[in-house]
């Protein structure tokens, strides 16, 4: 098989972008079928990219000409789609979150282990970002000594009206949750959220913004993540790792530095899709290549489970204010 024939479940914003990159930018893939509970979305994809519309996710997953599946639908429907792919033995790329409850995530890891082969890759694209890869390489080189603290900021200019306090974890900090334990090859043991006064640009009864999230790891690293989703000025991702002998910081997106009117300025991204566009491409290409080779390389179903358990502990702390344990249990040998 030199071309991976793909079915896409969900053709909303991110689904449509994935269809575009699979059809027009990446190598070795062809989208053959799509479905969306919103028929207009499916029709738009069918018209723009010449793909067949199927009636629902199961029709996509079971189609004989679909070798592999991209899940980009409504978050609560992810688990059903991923489980159905595993049942058919088809590789699946699932946008984050892999599932909306840790119980469903566990169901997925159990099903994959029972199937006996990795089939799932979760859409944690930061692992494919050049800057994060440079951080990881530096930490692994041992040049800076052991990591001690990590300071992060995840800032969005603004968010949609339905974005509430829990989304700050489930939709936003979830990226740091996944990327940071991978960066330092460590495990979370506890989680806490500190909530300062909210910005005037939010309705604090619905969305407390900003929030400060604290994670501690097994090796003793303390991580702080500022999530500020009404920061107004742009899309800004910061990550600084303080090690024993060095400090390393995530590079800024590359824009020229302009000197004008007695000012030194540099543009910022305004949008997360643009900020991580290359990472999305590399991530999806890796999924295509590994699916064609019959293996799975990227963030695994276990990583999806760890993210869900950690996120739940943070969300619990949003209400209790307490330090909550992160209880993922032993990593199964299958995922080591």
Q: Does the footprint of ligand ISE cover residue 172 (CB under 6 A)?
A: yes
Among 175, 190, 243, 304, which residue sits at the site for ligand ISE (rule: CB under 6 A)? Answer: 175
Structure tokens at 38: 């919103």
- Alpha-carbon distance 196 to 56, whole Å? 44
Q: From residue 200 to residue 229, what is the string marking binding to ligand ISE with x (rule CB under 6 A)?
A: -----------------------------x
Give the CA angle between residues 145, 147, 151 to the nearest 5°: 140
User: Which range of residues in 52-60, 171-179, 253-261, 321-329 is near ligand ISE by CB under 6 A?
Assistant: 171-179
Q: Does the footprint of ligand ISE cover residue 156 (CB under 6 A)?
A: yes
Q: Does the footprint of ligand ISE cover residue 182 (CB under 6 A)?
A: no
User: Which range of residues in 34-42, 55-63, 168-176, 238-246 is near ligand ISE by CB under 6 A?
Assistant: 168-176
Give whichever of 54 and 236 is closer to ligand ISE, judged by the CB atom: 236
Widest CA span in the chain: 65
Give whichever of 272 and 335 is closer to ligand ISE, judged by the CB atom: 272
Helices (H), 63-101: 78-88
- Alpha-carbon distance 219 to 278, whole Å? 32
**Residue 115: CB atoms within 10 Å:** 14
Q: From residue 261 to residue 290, what is the string marking binding to ligand ISE with x (rule CB under 6 A)?
A: -----------x------------------
Give whichever of 32 and 282 is closer to ligand ISE, judged by the CB atom: 282
- Alpha-carbon distance 170 to 148, whole Å? 25
- Alpha-carbon distance 102 to 90, whole Å? 22
Residues in binding contact with ligand ISE, number by CB under 6 A: 6
Question: For the chain, where are the E strands, in sequence order?
Answer: 4-9, 29-35, 52-53, 68-71, 92-95, 120-123, 147-155, 188-194, 211-217, 222-228, 236-243, 247-249, 257-260, 263-266, 324-325
- Residues near ligand ISE (CB under 6 A) are 156, 171-172, 175, 229, 272
């Amino acid at each position: 098989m030199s071309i991976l024939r793909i079915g896409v479940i969900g053709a909303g914003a991110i689904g449509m972008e994935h269809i575009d990159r699979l059809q027009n930018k990446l190598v070795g893939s062809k989208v053959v079928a799509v479905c969306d509970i919103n028929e207009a979305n499916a029709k738009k994809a069918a018209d723009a990219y010449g793909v067949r519309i199927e009636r629902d996710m199961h029709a996509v997953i079971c189609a004989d000409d679909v070798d592999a599946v991209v899940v980009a639908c409504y978050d609560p429907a992810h688990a059903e789609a991923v489980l159905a792919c595993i049942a058919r033995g088809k590789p699946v790329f699932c946008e984050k979150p892999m599932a909306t409850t840790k119980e469903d995530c566990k169901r997925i890891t159990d099903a994959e282990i029972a199937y006996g082969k990795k089939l799932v890759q979760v859409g944690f694209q930061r692992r494919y970002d050049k800057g994060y890869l440079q951080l990881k390489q530096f930490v692994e080189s041992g040049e800076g000594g052991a990591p001690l603290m990590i300071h992060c900021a995840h800032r969005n200019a603004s968010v949609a009206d339905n974005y509430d306090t829990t989304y700050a974890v489930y939709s936003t900090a979830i990226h740091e949750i996944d990327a940071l334990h991978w960066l330092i090859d460590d495990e979370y043991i506890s989680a806490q959220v500190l909530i300062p006064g909210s910005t005037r640009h939010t309705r604090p009864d619905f969305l407390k913004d900003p929030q400060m999230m604290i994670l501690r790891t097994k090796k003793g690293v303390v991580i702080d993540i500022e999530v500020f989703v009404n920061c107004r000025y742009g899309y800004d991702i910061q990550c600084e790792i303080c090690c024993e002998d060095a400090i390393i910081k995530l590079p800024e997106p590359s824009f020229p530095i302009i000197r004008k009117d007695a000012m030194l300025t540099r543009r910022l991204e305004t949008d997360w899709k643009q900020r991580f566009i290359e990472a999305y491409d590399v991530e999806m290409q890796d999924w295509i290549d590994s699916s064609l080779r019959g293996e799975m390389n990227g963030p695994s179903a276990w990583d999806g489970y760890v993210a869900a358990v950690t996120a739940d502990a943070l969300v619990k702390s949003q209400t209790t204010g307490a330090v909550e344990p992160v209880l993922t249990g032993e990593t199964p040998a299958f995922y080591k």
